[in-house]
Amino acid sequence: MSEQTNEFTEWYLQTVQQSELMAYSSVRGSIIFRPDGYELWEHIQEEFNKFLKKQGIRNAYFPMLIPQNFFMKESDHVEGFAPEIPWVTEVGDEKLEEPLGLRPTSETTIGQAFSDWINSYRDLPYEINQWANVFRWEKKTLPFLRTSEFLWQEGHTAHATEKEAYERTMSALDEYERLCEEFLAIPVYKGKKTPSERFAGAVDTYSVEAMMQDGKAVQAGTSHYLGTNFAKAFDITYLNKENQHVHAYTTSWGASTRLIGALIMSHGDQSGLVLPPTVAPTQIVLMPVGPWKKNPGVMEKLDEIFYNLKEAGYRVRLDDSDNTPGYKFNEWELKGACIRIECGPRDIENGHIIVKSRDVADKQKVAFEEIDTFVADELTAMTPRLLEKARKRVKENEYLHINTLQELKEHIETCKEEDKTPGFVLIGWDGTEETEETIKEETGFTTRNIPFEAPIEKEVDIVSGKPAKHTLWIARAY
């Protein structure tokens, strides 16, 4: 893994471009989602929409432009987002009276709408979701992981009680965990953000954090308990059963196209993308090998297999181009096709095909009559197998016994020497921003989250040595 580790970001940048997931655009930090990249997002959307439907949360769509005065209504919110907001100031060649911001998130617009729509306790809970493009002009950008424009879903809900709002905050977080682990095979760390890492305007922010192959963290989904902060800013009140006007409790939660970045950085290898069949644009690729052009039986058989698999609903491609088998192997490994099926004249004679799974080194022979069963079983097995592999890697890069800043620095140094990743480190924390600041300045590590169930509880703060109030994960992060 050394090559990939040392130049992991370089590997990533080459892989996402060469596999044709994305291309750079002429707008700073914005990328083009090419069809294979966009399809990954479409599958994530389908899966998340199932959760929404089951929960009775409906999709809606709100204006992308937000009047400047909306931002001003929640002071923490505007402070957090102001530096990154692109502003429309002109239309044609006429100046607008009030600048319009490109949404970085929609609490303000949706808060305003909730204020109109919610009047009685009978209207609660009020729960909606939006699939949308959002804008945050970040200084450093990286394809999928941090882009000026990105795609996401944002759930927004209003409730009669703190308890209900908190439960929704948690159920959204649980769904992000499930989506990452079961659907994308990305193991995550679930927990609460420290106050300095909270969403601007939230009472509490929770996250799922994923560890990439270089040990760095990607925040894969966040869920915010907003209390009555936005309800007060936007006057979201309702008449309760006792005939009193009271504020609703709101939540918001989002996951974005950075999941695509996490997916690639979790599973990819030196040959390119490794994708779970749940999202892979190509689940199966068929290709003729050997002197197949002289033996029409080869293409006849492949056409038959292709047709059957397609009928069965698989995402299957047949590569009958003139490229060499070696070229085709490389191309489809780069693109992350889950299963490769080869067939040549001799295979036809012997009544089998040659199969290779993207994440397994060996090829195997599968008799013609067993192809359907084999493919179904193998595609079912692959996602949990990738999750298992990722879990193992992640566990190997967890460090639980570092108790002082000095030990942390030594750990980082040792990892560097041994060409390992410094991974996720569990620390004790006294709850002060000073500790977070010191760790960041001295090591580049940032606080990820306070796990709901820490593997062990820490006694003392890693910097101050004072009694720890919390145990939390720290890591370098994208």
The contact set with a copy of itself (CB under 8 A) reads 23, 25-27, 30-35, 37-39, 41-42, 58-67, 70, 82-93, 99-100, 102, 109, 112-113, 116-117, 128, 132-133, 137, 148-149, 151
Nearer to a copy of itself by Cβ, of 310 and 469: the residue is 310
Nearer to a copy of itself by Cβ, of 135 and 445: the residue is 135
Q: What angle do CA 56, 61, 67 make, to 5 degrees?
A: 130
Least Å distance between CB 84 and a copy of itself? 7
Please report which helix (H) or strand (E) contains residue 222, including its range.
strand 217-227
Nearer to a copy of itself by Cβ, of 121 and 166: the residue is 121
Nearer to a copy of itself by Cβ, of 130 and 266: the residue is 130
Least Å distance between CB 314 and a copy of itself? 14
Q: Quick check: 275 and 16 in contact, CB under 8 A?
A: no
Least Å distance between CB 206 and a copy of itself? 26
| CA-closest candidate to residue 420, choices 445, 443, 398, 400 | 398
Least Å distance between CB 15 and a copy of itself? 18
Least Å distance between CB 262 and a copy of itself? 18
Nearer to a copy of itself by Cβ, of 149 and 174: the residue is 149
| CA-closest candidate to residue 228, choices 146, 149, 287, 165 | 165
Structure tokens at 153: 């879903």
How far, in Å, CA of 368 to CA of 362, rounded?
A: 19
| CA-closest candidate to residue 284, choices 196, 343, 235 | 343
The residues with which 129 forms a beta bridge, in sequence order, are 59, 155
How far, in Å, CA of 218 to CA of 456, rounded?
A: 23
How far, in Å, CA of 237 to CA of 239, rounded?
A: 7
Q: Quick check: 162 and 365 in contact, CB under 8 A?
A: no
The residues with which 354 forms a beta bridge, in sequence order, are 342, 365
Phi and psi at residue 289, to the nearest 5°: -130, 175
Least Å distance between CB 141 and a copy of itself? 12
Nearer to a copy of itself by Cβ, of 122 and 293: the residue is 122
Least Å distance between CB 137 and a copy of itself? 5
Nearer to a copy of itself by Cβ, of 139 and 294: the residue is 139
How far, in Å, CA of 111 to CA of 124, rounded?
A: 14
Phi and psi at residue 60, to the nearest 5°: -145, 175
Nearer to a copy of itself by Cβ, of 15 and 435: the residue is 15
Nearer to a copy of itself by Cβ, of 30 and 432: the residue is 30
Nearer to a copy of itself by Cβ, of 64 and 299: the residue is 64
Q: Quick check: 204 and 198 in contact, CB under 8 A?
A: yes
Least Å distance between CB 175 and a copy of itself? 19
Least Å distance between CB 26 and a copy of itself? 5
| CA-closest candidate to residue 357, choices 264, 280, 464 | 280
Least Å distance between CB 439 and a copy of itself? 28
Q: Quick check: 134 and 97 in contact, CB under 8 A?
A: no
Through-space distance between the first and last CA atoms of the chain, rounded to whole angstroms: 20
DSSP letters for 317-335: EE--SSS-HHHHHHHHHHT
Please report which helix (H) or strand (E) contains residue 244, including its range.
none
